[in-house]
Amino acid sequence: MSTPSRRGSARKSTHHTVPRTARPYWNMRVEPRLGTARLNALRLRRLRGVLTHVSRHSRYFQDLFGTHRISPRAIRSFEDFRATVPLFTKEDHRSAQETSLRAAGHGLGTTLAVPREDLRLFCATSGTTGEPTFYLFSDEDLAVWCEGRSRAFWRAGLRPGMRVMIGFGLGMFVGGIPNVFAARAFGLGIVPVGAEAGSARLLKFARLTRPHALLATPSLALHLIEQSPGVIGQEVRSLGLRVLLLGGEAGVGIEDTRHRLEDAYGARVFDLQGPNMSCSPPRERIGQTSYYGLHRLMDDFYYYELIDPETREPIPFEEGAVGELVTTQLWPGAAPFIRYTAGDLQQVFVRPCPCGATGYRSRFVGRTDDMLKVKGVIVYPAGIQGVLAAFQPCDLTGEFRIVLTEPPPKVTPPLRLKIEHAPGAEGRLPAIELRIKDLFHTRLKVSPEIQWMSPNTLPKPAGKREVFERKYHTPSTGS
């Protein structure tokens, strides 16, 4: 199959017969069927296609399939696929890059399945080792990415001709430049300020250009609330933003945080994680609980599994199940992820969403890398953030750090936290601390030791929030 025909297959799905002003979804051919068995035949056909693609063009998968005697033609079902193809971990990803650097003179990885001259975009994350982990885009990858974002933009109420400000980092971050491509393909006017520019520049450009939507991290959106009066002399609501698409970290899934954002901006707030997005039903229609997880918007381009994070055994994909997410992409891209485990723990919901939109849903629980064990009790940073959000903005700023004196997951009690109190809260700190510890005990079953910090003393990075302060020696990973 040639590259032009593959690229065309992703783009054809955006053509519609339903009048644009009337349709509920961007892609009326596929989105009404998301989360149903009606897509299984298409997904299985695409799975076998991508397995054939990597078996022919990727050194990593050629070696893997040879070692395990895997033939794409012999895979007749998703059950065959799960039983036959091994998991691909973050460690495998880094190892593939190191191997290609030694053997081929580049560090893009032995999973690469297209000629390097066919690569159109390079993104990366530094990861825990400090070495970049690449995410590569061919024309086909960009077409699929843009299709996914178009589905999200449409569900969020955006329409071609509106304006969007990019507040994600515009360096190598996957949420940066790829979203610029997607916004352009959708037909949005783009204000590419980027998180690197800082909150003052973001606020000033938002006041001047009047974007309809902001793409950023939740922590940056919260920071703009605090900074707006001092920078532009008005509350952030004055910017007139209608939609906040926030991702890259936990936050929107926390009721108190989401409600604070909704009230401050007067906007609809959506959780945006990878190719998935939450719904945002009005509170007065659904009730105070208006977060039902991330709708899987690209079920036709991804296959998902759940596994036990310790035993690696499969977990049935059923209502309320919790496990580590395993992702397989169903198109023949630059460096396809096949049974990729990134360490994300998710809870899935397969029943219809109260909002009425299609796509089964998942809720972020935590990352296996970030898991802490305090006297046998498992705690995740997202849970800690959820507790502290209940005290914002009157008592706390929302900034905190988990102080680790030994490598995780073990934490010798107590769980040590640095927490910024809100301006003017100094005289109430003993009472606030008692309330915080009581809520920790109720929700998380642990009791923290709190070191109070004055407002604006903990660094606020432009990108993702760093929640750990590590006070133990980390061995060098260099040669």
Phi-psi region of 84 (alpha: psi -120 to 50; beta: other; left: phi over 0): alpha
Least confident among 61-75, 275-289, 317-331: 275-289
Query: Average pLDDT in the 28-34 region?
Result: 96
Specify the long-range contacts of residues 427-430, CB closer than 8 Å, at least 24 apart: 428/395
Query: Average pLDDT in the 192-198 region?
Result: 95
- Residue 251's pLDDT is 86
Query: Average pLDDT in the 65-94 region?
Result: 96
| One-letter-per-residue 3-state SS of 11-34 | HHCCCCCCCCCCCCCCCCCCHHHC
Q: Which residues, in sequence order, are bridge partners of residue 404?
A: 470
Sheet holding 415-421, edge to edge: 448-453, 415-421, 396-404, 468-470
Query: Average pLDDT in the 378-405 region?
Result: 93
pLDDT range class, residue 211, cuts 50, 70, 90: very high
Joined together, the tokens standing for residue 120 give 């159109």
Element (H, E) at 174: none
**SS3 state of residue 383:** helix
**What is the overall mean pLDDT for the chain?**
90
pLDDT range class, residue 129, cuts 50, 70, 90: low
Q: Are 255 and 291 in contact (CB under 8 A)?
A: yes
Q: What is the pTM of this model?
A: 0.87
Q: In the predicted model, is pLDDT for residue 284 greater than 70?
A: no
- Residue 125's pLDDT is 79
Joined together, the tokens standing for residue 396 give 């706390």
Cα–Cα distance for residue pair 235/136, rounded to 1 Å: 40
Query: Average pLDDT in the 458-464 region?
Result: 72
Cα–Cα distance for residue pair 210/163, rounded to 1 Å: 8
For the chain, counts of helices (H) and of strands (E): 13, 22
Joined together, the tokens standing for residue 140 give 């086909």
Query: Average pLDDT in the 62-76 region?
Result: 96
- Residue 475's pLDDT is 53
Q: In the predicted model, is pLDDT for residue 6 greater than 60?
A: no
pLDDT range class, residue 395, cuts 50, 70, 90: very high
Locate the DSSP E strands across 100-142. Answer: 121-125, 133-137
Q: In the predicted model, is pLDDT for residue 8 greater than 80?
A: no
Cα–Cα distance for residue pair 392/415, rounded to 1 Å: 21
- Residue 462's pLDDT is 60
